[in-house]
Amino acid sequence: MNHDKIINIAVIAHVDAGKSTLVDAFLNQSGVFRANQEVVDCVMDSNSLERERGITIYSKNCSIRYKDYKINIVDTPGHSDFSSEVERVIRTVDTVILLVDSIEGPMPQTRFVLQKSLEQGLKPILVINKIDKPNHRAEEVVDMTFDLFVDLNANDEQLDFPILYGIGKQGIMQYDLDTPSDNIEPLLETIVKQVGEYPKEDDAPLQMQISALGYDNFIGRLGIGRVYKGTVRDGQTIQISDNDGKLRTGRIAKLMTYEGLKQVPIEEVSSGNIAVIAGITDISIGETVGEMGKVEPMEPITIEDPTLSMNFLVNNSPFAGKSGKFVTTRHIKDRLEKELEVNVGLKVEAMDTTDGYKVSGRGELHLSILIENMRREGYELGVSKPEVIMHRDENGKLVEPVERVIITLPEQYSGAAIANLNMRKGMMQSMEPENGYVRIEYLCTTRGLLGFRSELITDSRGEATLVRRIEGYTEYVGELPRRANGALIAQEPGTTMAYALNNLEDRGILFVPPATEVYEGMIIGMNSRREDMTVNACKNKKLTNTRASGSDDAVKLTPPKVFSLEEALEFIEDDELVEVTPDAIRLRKRILNEGDRRRANKM
């Protein structure tokens, strides 16, 4: 029997506060890496998209050893779109390290993750990070964070939180600003003092709750969770209570736990520790695992409802199948079912037609990450405009999700941002000027924010930062303005010509360069006017025997606007789709033929 003293902690914070970097420091301090091992930054962000974007998408587990303690650490996402990841892990930990940037202070997502922690009765440890910045305001940020605790109805015990100051990137934590340190030991000592070891109940009947899911290509679905009581053993026959209290029997085919970054096989896992079990093909989030006839069901884990949906359709464009390996409805169905095994914030419904599925999630980023992963795996899709999910409240009134938005941008661009949010029926909460910049806080519906990010970047010449998180629901605010400009639509299939594109530049903004293969109904630009315009982008200059001086010089075109996946999804209207393939993101009309579109519009 392994008699480690067990402590489970989660690192929670707003996006970019330094969570993954702090976990790197923990791992380095505890000697997880060999002396000659090459170590990458943010080692927990193992997904390629996490590395590219510099964000954490999936919560992950690791463990370190400190003195005679085994400390299990969960690195959680900071984006509100992945809040379902945070909700689950908070239940499994003994304390949380609340990381706050020494300049930014508490941000909207800080409020969300802290609220969840306080509701679970946890006593957080506050770490003011990035104190190496010359313009930090650490003491002011401590006061702001204390006010946030009060605002969230923290009890007296929770308000008496320990405070440390650190430089996560350098692996430095210190008890106060004037006492320098060269390692992370002050934080480890604070964790041990704050929490102490998990009370051992190894001889009690087994009680384990599944808080996360994983998948292994060789052993299938994995259930990850904390053993609250008793001991779980490899090969053990167990009873599982689902979220409705129904019991079923299963057998653990393989048992693992975390050592450093790895899942390692083990004979048994005792109370307090994190266990990974394989062999239960239908194991799910929130289910309680126990001994035969002795299951003591735990309170189910509730996940907040999705706020946004999109239709994932079979790609039926003329270019379908040119670069993707998985192009049928069956392929899409199988991939979405696999995603549901580990992505608990997702919901998938069959559509009335047989050409796709309605997929709902916690926001544009949540869904676009899934689409981007599918694209990289060789899938082709046609994706519809994001649609906000409405609800009826207890009085029968229609309500829609509302978000808190914080924008920081240069003062000279603030007027355009304010006007844009007012037009979208947002309500200003505060406005604070600071060193030539303005920090604006708004409440605005999710529906009103669709397409706002790309407009803000354009209006601010790329200098604005936007942070948003779902605040709750508000009464339906009525019709909102739509995209002000129509589309430039390719009239015929072919290859775009510089001569034709040069003539079209006066009509609007182009999305494609010369020598691009296009098809009828593909969107190649944005019209400067409100209506759509069908254009010939493949027309070349007629050759003649005479040459006018200067007229045949090389055409100089403005570089086309290139859309990211999120920008493309924000841009399209109801009658348009984003065509997603492994090698391209294209915009198109749902109905490709111009005559068919006209007839459909008359109906």
Q: Is 20 annotated as a binding residue?
A: yes
Q: Is 16 annotated as a binding residue?
A: yes
Closest by CA to 371, choosing from 323, 336, 324, is: 336
Q: Is 19 annotated as a binding residue?
A: yes
* Placement of tokens 């093909």 in the chain: 281
How far is the C-alpha of 44 from the C-alpha of 450, rounded, in Å?
31
Domain ranges of the chain: 5-195, 207-290, 391-475, 487-602
The span from the first CA to the last CA of the chain, in angstroms, equals 73
Q: Is 101 annotated as a binding residue?
A: no
Distances (CA, A) of 132 to 27, 82, 136, 137, 165: 21, 29, 8, 11, 10
Q: Are 323 and 584 in contact (CB under 8 A)?
A: yes
Helices (H), 104-231: 108-119, 138-151, 156-159, 185-195
Label residue 16 exposed, middle or buried (CB < 10 Å: 0-12, 13-18, 19+): middle
Tokens of 510: 């182009």
Q: Report the run of H or E that residue 596 belongs to, with start and end.
A: helix 594-602
Reported for 39-46, long-range contacts at CB under 8 A and 24+ positions apart, including other chains, are 43/261, 44/20, 44/75, 44/261, 45/20
Q: Which fold has domain 391-475?
A: Alpha-Beta Plaits (3.30.70)
Q: Is 583 annotated as a binding residue?
A: no
Residue-wise DSSP of 513-540 = -TT-EE-TTEEEEEESSSS-EEE-SS--
Q: Are 599 and 586 in contact (CB under 8 A)?
A: no
Backbone CA torsion sign across 428, 434, 438, 441: negative
Look at residue 306 in the predicted model and tell me its pLDDT.
86
Closest by CA to 565, choosing from 292, 319, 295, 370, is: 370
Give one word for 293, left, alpha or beta, with left for phi > 0 and alpha for psi -120 to 50: left
Could you say which residues of the chain have pLDDT below 70?
1-3, 14-17, 19, 29-60, 75-87, 108, 543-554
pLDDT tens digits for range 525-537: 999 999 999 999 9
Antiparallel, parallel or unpaired: β 125-129 and 262-265: unpaired
Beta-carbon contacts of residue 2 (< 8 Å; ≥ 6 apart)? 266, 268, 270, 273
Q: Are 581 and 376 in contact (CB under 8 A)?
A: no
Calculated CA dihedral for residues 95, 97, 100, 106, nearest 10 degrees: -10
How far is the C-alpha of 135 from the C-alpha of 400, rounded, in Å?
40
Distances (CA, A) of 515 to 337, 392, 512: 39, 51, 9
Label residue 517 exposed, middle or buried (CB < 10 Å: 0-12, 13-18, 19+): middle
Look at residue 41 in the predicted model and tell me its pLDDT.
39
Q: Is 21 annotated as a binding residue?
A: yes
How far is the C-alpha of 58 from the C-alpha of 68, rounded, in Å?
29
How far is the C-alpha of 274 from the C-alpha of 305, rounded, in Å?
27
Q: Are 431 and 437 in contact (CB under 8 A)?
A: no
In 246-315, the DSSP E strands lie at 247-251, 254-259, 262-265, 268-269, 274-278, 288-290, 308-313
Q: Is 131 annotated as a binding residue?
A: yes
Tokens of 34: 């060999």
Tokens of 242: 């689902």
Q: Are 277 and 216 in contact (CB under 8 A)?
A: no
Q: Fold identical between 391-475 and 487-602?
A: no
Look at residue 16 in the predicted model and tell me its pLDDT.
63
3-state secondary structure 339-361: HHCCCCCCEEEECCCCCEEEEEE
| Candidates 3.40.640.10, 3.60.10.10, 3.30.70.1350, 3.40.50.300; CATH matching 5-195 | 3.40.50.300
Look at residue 221 in the predicted model and tell me its pLDDT.
83
Label residue 162 exposed, middle or buried (CB < 10 Å: 0-12, 13-18, 19+): middle
**What is the 8-class DSSP label of residue 367?**
H
Is 2.40.30.10 the CATH classification of the domain at 207-290? Answer: yes
Q: Are 137 and 145 in contact (CB under 8 A)?
A: no
Type of residue found at 458: T
How far is the C-alpha of 201 from the C-alpha of 224, rounded, in Å?
19
Look at residue 34 in the predicted model and tell me its pLDDT.
39
Count of helices and strands (H, E) across the chain: 15, 35
Q: Is 132 annotated as a binding residue?
A: yes
Distances (CA, A) of 294 to 181, 207, 229, 237: 50, 9, 12, 12
How far is the C-alpha of 9 from the C-alpha of 70, rounded, in Å?
11
Residue 124, classed as helix, strand or coil, is coil
- The CATH code that applies to domain 487-602 is 2.40.50.250
